[in-house]
Structure 1
Amino acid sequence: MIEEKKNVENLRRVRFNTIWLVPLVAIMVASWMLYQNWSSQGPVITLTAPNAEGLEAGQTKLKARNVDVGKVIGIRLSSDFDKAIIQVRMNQGTQKMLREDTKFWVVKPRIGREGVSGLGTLLSGAYIDMAPSEQGKESTEFTLLSQPPLSTKKEGVRILLHSDDSSKLDVGSLVHFRGYEVGYIEEVGFDADSGSITYRVVVKPPYDALVNDAVQFWVTPGLSFKSSVQGFEVRLDSLETFLSGGISFGLGKSRSAGQPVKDLTSFRLYPSKEDADNNLYDQTLEYVFLFDSNVSGLAAGADVEFRGVRIGTVLEVPFTGISMDTLTSHERPVIPVLARIEPQRLNAWKVSGDVSLKKWQELLDYRIHQGLRARLEIGNYLNAAKVISLDFMDNPPPIKLKTFEGYQVFPTGPDSLANIEGKVSIVLDKLADVPLKETFDKLGKTMGEANETLRQLQAVSKSVKLLLDQSETQALPADLSDVMAELNLTLETYQANGQIGRPLRENMVSLGRALNELQPLLRQLRENPNTLIFDSKPRLDVQPKAAR
């Protein structure tokens, strides 16, 4: 009994020993801390990236608007060792930000055309930034972007552009409308099926109202150099487009605005504004021109003119839709050129449908029968660029071929250089027909006669000189001087104050005075011839005057 009581007392001492309170409190505190840590943690998300450059597990933070919302807890390779898998522990309360449209990217020092960014990470290290989204379903798996997104808002309108023959533009390249910056390239891709480069373009509001189904898009290179019939053209756009190029859009000439478009509507991207303008002419007549001359200087895009007015465009030089049998079937080898007549250039967009094209076809056929022919002409002598010129010819060659590889043939004539060569050849032929030998013989005989005449003149000149050297000839001037003195003296005698001139002048003055005095008498005799016999008027008796 005594031992049992001792055991009970020992148990009571152990049960109520205060030392056991310390581990108990420690367990309770640890449990509370674990609960607090577990309750404050958010979900774990997975980011897939090509590499994990600049990221460290337990150090790299994830931020939204520069606020810490998570931390990288693990980095590993994918099962195929092709990508990096990054796990991020998000903070509690961030579940609503994790949507399918949420974007993640690494912030680090970058130098681009937008400027220098991310310099603050030189000291703090790179971090992951995110653009939260409220659209889409909740998700925990995302792809880490290689570049920061240009826009995180679904604003404006997005357009898909397809380019077949232009160089690649970079993401962020600007979109202009009449020189104003209205958007940018958001994404660049490549369509393997069509072999074309694709661009997703964003046009920001309020400029998105300018996009409709009638606009056209073209590339605006920063620096372009073009040589054409019009001459040399150098164009320099803004500095931004000079560095990276850009895209412009607008309505064509005489076109009205169309209907608004929806997001991701497809348009074709033309390599230049000229190509975009030429594409507006959708009602055309295509012909093949067979030239029997040198086509150097004629290129695709050259003008087809009628007396200096552009009415069409050259499409292919030479025309590739031909075969060797076709070329060898002609009497003389010819160079086929495919071009088109564009009546809309002259008819101010009134050409529509097959009816108007049929009328233009009939008109051209009628003019061809009247002598309308095509020939090559140099449009610019600086760069030797050629054009196809249509005009009427006198006595044109007959039309032999009507169609060529399914295209109607437009009859051609000799080019301007060939005409010049022909005229020069004619002149040379006429010169060859001239009897040059007889002409030179006659010319030689004439020159001989001229030499004989000159010899005779020299002999006469020598005789005259001998005559003048004689003393009798030298005495002639003195006698001639005496004769001239006597003649002068005689003339002075007959002058007004001379011995004969003065009396003659006085007599003439007296005679004039006498004639003036006789004029009344002569006038009276002319009026009354009997004046010499009778008095002119009867005399009246004198009447005495009355007294006053």
Structure 2
Amino acid sequence: MSDLKPKIQTTKRLHFNSIWLVPLVALVVAGWMLYQNWASQGPTIEIIAPNAEGISAGKTKVKARNVDVGEVSDIHLSDDYNHAVITVQMNSGTSQMLRDDTKFWVIKPRIGREGISGLGTLLSGAFIEMEPGHGDNAQSHFEMLSQPPLTTSEDKGIRLRLTSSGLSKMDVGTPVHFHGFEVGYIEKVGFDIKTGDITYRVFIRAPYDALVNSAVQFWLTPGLAVESSARGVQVKMDSLETLISGGISFGVTKGSAGEAVADFTQFHLYGSRDQAENHRYDKFIRYVFLFNSNISGLEEGAPVEFRGIRIGTVTQVPFHGSSIEKLDALKHPAIPVLARIEPQRIDADFDQGKMTLKSWKELLAKHINQGLRASLETSNLLTGAKVIDLDFVANPKPTQMHQFSGYPSFPTVAGKFDQMENKLAMVLDHLASAPVGATFVQLQQTIEQAKQTFVSMNKTSAQLNELIKDANSQQLPDKLKQTLIQINQTLADYQRQGEVGQSVAKNLQSLQQALNELQPLLRQLRAQPNSLIFNHPAPGDKQPPAGVKTGVSNE
């Protein structure tokens, strides 16, 4: 019976539970999101900065033209602990912007010469600004700029390199002017260790870059300058901006023409416009001037003039020369001064080759034989500045051109003021050495003799009066009597009480008073002959010695 029972087979069926759909969908979504996040990410770059002030990982954005292009993901110190390394995760599609000329800088509140900037970050926080590059080479390591650049790669213009020596340093952002109008600024400041020069990279904006050519000169615009020279005291004042920070100006000097220049052409930066203009006189003849007078007031850069027209420049005061000539200078009173004659100042055809330096040397030598001499003249009585003046002198002494440290020596004479001073000193010396005392003695004797003559005339007049009144005299002829009366009248006129006598007495009295007043002056001239020119302090009151009565009662 057991075989007749039907066989029962058991089978297991797998049933899919819908609950598993939830994690499956979540896994697919998460994978898709990870893929989307990976696909949306751009390259990772590193920025080296002096410090990470105001920058936070996961918060600080990187922007280009105020559009988010990345975010700071990590900040750590460099291996040498001297810099901060900022890791930035860039967005997708930014690879083309990361080139070797790409620039990064931090936008934060700043107060500088250009004004106040970055105030919007007071609420939003600092962020990193990016200027996309256009170079050929891709790059992932960059250096943070210390401050925002003044120009961008899209700004049109020309960049130049300026060098200066012996001048004070100027900062980035210092303006560049042309005829007082701002046309550019300093982009970068450096220092050349080999030459000791300060270097500047300046940017001239378009369309003003067309003003720059090979003939322009650059010089400092100090804002406020007080210059004392042979022309007097000059006060120059520019704008308020240049008064605070200074500036640079450029222009084409008179008679110069130039050609267009390329980027980063080098120019020299001069201290003033006068130095820049004098630089174009590049052909000159050097002379040494030996002066036997005081050269105080003659400075480097002072003009060399011919009858008021500038024809040269003083280059070294005093001129040192060789060591042997320095020793000779101790034996001789002449002080050497090195100066140069610049024919280009007065010869318009010099650059055209009509006159050469050789022909100018021959011309000057000819004029020296004819009496051309140099002298020191005071051009400004207020400042005491002096110039070297060339002019012809009358009856010149024969002279020859000597050499001093390899330079010809220009013959010199005393200046007009020195000549006048010497002549006046001679007059005072003669006056001081004159026998004034003997003359006073003779005048005193003459006055005494005149007094005695008046006494004799009074006696004679009295005797004539008695003779005329005498009875016996009445018997004399009328003509003789009349003659005696006239003689008596004449004697009366010449007496002290008479008309002539009173006049002579007054003159003698005035002469006596004048002589008495001249005696202190003559004693002073005998002691100090130059006291008429130079003021001397009056001697103090003599103090009586102790114990001597002064006539003033102490009661």
| Both proteins in one fold, TM over 0.5 | yes
Q: How far apart in 1 are the matches of 2:232 and 2:394? A: 31
Contact 1:289 1:339 in 2 (8 A): yes
- The amino acid that maps onto 1:375 is S
Greater alpha carbon shift after TM alignment, 22-31 vs 262-271: 22-31
Could you say which residue in structure 1 is the equivalent of 2:165?
164
Task: Work out whether residues 396 and 413 of structure 1, in 8 Å CA contact, stay in contact via their aligned partners in 2.
Answer: no
Aligned residues: 455
Aligned partner of residue 380 in structure 1, secondary structure: coil
The one-letter amino acid paired with 1:53 is E
Letter in 2 for 1:183: G
Change (3 A) 1:28 1:450: farther
1:94 matched to 2:97: no
Q: CA deviation at 1:106?
A: 0.5
Q: Which residue of 2 aligns with 1:55?
A: 55
Change (3 A) 1:351 1:92: closer
Match in the other structure for 1:79: 79
What is the CA deviation profile of residues 219-253 of structure 1, one whole-angstrom value per residue up to 9, with x for unaligned ones?
A: 11111110001111111111121121111111111
Instruction: Give the aligned partner of residue 425 of structure 1.
Output: 425
CA distance in 1, matches of 2:40, 2:131: 22
Residue 290 of structure 1 is matched in structure 2 by: 290
Secondary structure in 1 aligned to 2:313? strand
Structure 1 residue aligned with 2:197: 196
Residue identity opposite 1:195 in structure 2: G
Is 2:448 the partner of 1:440?
A: no
Distance in 2 of aligned mates of 1:368 and 1:47:
72
Separation in 1, partners of 2:283, 2:456: 86
Name 2:18's counterpart in structure 1.
18
| Superposition deviation, residue 314 in structure 1 | 0.5
Could you tell me how far 1:380 is from its partner in structure 2?
A: 0.5
Q: Using the alignment, how far apart are the partners of 1:438 and 1:333 within structure 2?
A: 40
8 Å contact from structure 1 (residues 63, 129) kept in 2: yes
Distance 2:264 2:357 in 1: 35
Given that 2:159 and 2:201 are in contact with CA atoms closer than 8 Å, whether structure 1 keeps it comes out as: yes
CA distance in 2, matches of 1:235, 1:457: 82
Q: Which residue of 2 aligns with 1:540?
A: none
> The residue matched to 1:347 in structure 2 has which SS?
coil
Paired amino acid for 2:20: W
Give the C-alpha shift of residue 72 in structure 1.
Answer: 0.6
Partner in structure 1 of residue 175 of structure 2: 174
3-state SS of paired residue (1:197): strand
Q: Secondary structure at the match of 2:346?
A: helix
| Structure 1 residue 400 displacement after superposition | 6.4
3-state secondary structure, aligned to 2:80: coil
Q: Which residue of 1 aligns with 2:214?
A: 213
Deviation at 1:4, TM superposition (A): 10
Deviation by residue 1:90-113 (Cα, 9 ceiling, x = unmatched): 111222222222211101111112
Relative to structure 1, the CA distance from residue 459 to residue 159 in structure 2 (aligned partners, 3 Å threshold; closer, same or farther) is farther
Deviation at 1:340, TM superposition (A): 0.5
Structure 1 match to 2:244: 243
For the Cα contact (< 8 Å) 2:155–2:205, is it kept in 1?
A: no
Query: Per-residue deviation at 1:274?
Result: 0.2
Secondary structure, in 3 states, of the residue corresponding to 2:319? coil
Q: Is the 8 A contact 1:397 1:413 kept in 2?
A: no
- Which deviates more, 115-124 or 396-405? 396-405
Would the alpha carbon gap of residues 352 and 315 (structure 1) be closer, same or farther in structure 2, given more than 3 Å must change? farther
Corresponding residue number in structure 1 for 2:278: 278
Q: CA deviation at 1:216?
A: 1.0
Partner of 1:148: 148
Match of 1:80, SS state, is coil
Shift of 1:265: 0.9
For the residue of structure 1 that corresponds to 2:58, the secondary structure is coil
CA-to-aligned-CA distance 1:329-382 (integer Å, 9 cap, x gap): 674143221110111111125345595211211111111122222121111010
CA deviation map 1:237-275 (0-9, x unaligned): 1112112111111111122x3211111111111111000
Query: Do the aligned partners of residues 35 and 454 (structure 1) sit closer, same or farther apart at CA in structure 2, a change above 3 Å counting?
Result: farther
Q: Which moved more, 1:143-152 or 1:416-425?
A: 416-425
| Aligned partners of 2:401 and 2:410 also within 8 Å | no
- How far residue 383 of structure 1 moved from its aligned partner, in angstroms, is 0.8
The one-letter amino acid paired with 2:181 is: Y
Measure, in 2, the Cα distance between the counterparts of 1:413 and 1:356.
Answer: 28
Give me the whole-angstrom Cα distance separating, in 2, the residues matched to 1:375 and 1:3.
146
Aligned to 2:258: 258
Contact 1:101 1:136 in 2 (8 A): no
Following the alignment from structure 2 to structure 1, what is the Cα–Cα distance between the partners of residues 379 and 291?
17
Alpha-carbon distance, 1:56 to partner: 1.1
Query: SS state of the match for residue 383, structure 1?
Result: coil
Q: How many Å apart are 1:129 and its aligned residue? A: 0.6
> Who is 2:350 aligned against?
350
Residues 1:322 and 2:334 are matched in the alignment: no
Letter in 2 for 1:422: N
Residue 182 of structure 1 and its aligned partner are, at CA, apart by: 1.4
Flag the 1:113–1:452 CA change in 2: closer, same or farther, 3 A.
Answer: farther
SS for the counterpart of 1:438 is helix
Instruction: Describe the shift of the 1:24–1:286 C-alpha distance in structure 2 as closer, same or farther (beyond 3 A).
Output: same
Q: Are 2:127 and 1:127 equivalent residues in the alignment?
A: yes
> What TM-score does the superposition give when structure 2 sets the normalisation length?
0.77
Change in Cα spacing, 1:400 to 1:415, as seen in structure 2 (3 Å) is same
Provide the residue aligned with 2:490 in structure 1.
none
Structure 1: which amino acid aligns with 2:96? K
- Identify which range, 449-458 or 359-368, moves more after superposition: 449-458
Show the 5 A alignment for 1:361-380: 361-380=361-380
Match for 2:106: what amino acid? V
Alignment-derived partner of residue 109 in structure 2: 109
Asked if the contact 1:327/1:333 (under 8 Å) is kept, the reply is no
Deviation for aligned residue 1:398: 5.4
Q: Could you list the per-position Cα deviations for residues 442-479 of structure 1 after superposition, in whole angstroms to 9, with x for gaps in the alignment?
A: 2112333555678899999xxxxxxxxxxxxxxxxxxx
Instruction: Kindly indicate whether the alpha-carbon contact (under 8 Å) linking 1:283 and 1:353 is maintained by their aligned counterparts in 2.
Output: no
1:28 is aligned to 2:28: yes
SS at match of 2:159: strand
Q: Closer, same or farther in 2 for the Cα pair 1:302/1:325, shift >3 Å?
A: closer
**Amino acid across the alignment from 2:239:** S
Secondary structure class of the residue paired with 1:319: coil
The aligned amino acid for 2:393 is: M
Structure-1 separation of matches of 2:432 and 2:98: 97
**Alignment check: 8 A CA contact 2:162 2:268 kept:** yes
Deviation at 1:119, TM superposition (A): 0.8
Measure, in 2, the Cα distance between the counterparts of 1:29 and 1:459: 160
Q: Which structure 1 segments of 5+ residues have no match?
A: 461-548
Show the counterpart of 2:404.
404
Q: Kindly state the Cα deviation for residue 424 of structure 1 after the two structures are TM-superposed.
A: 2.3
Stretches of structure 2 that go unaligned for 5 or more consecutive residues are: 1-6, 461-555
Matches of 1:400 and 1:431, distance apart in 2: 38
Shift of 1:127: 0.7
Q: 1:340 to 1:31 in 2, by over 3 A?
A: same
After TM superposition, the runs of 4+ consecutive aligned structure 1 residues lying more than 6 A away are 453-460
Q: Which residue of 1 aligns with 2:498?
A: none
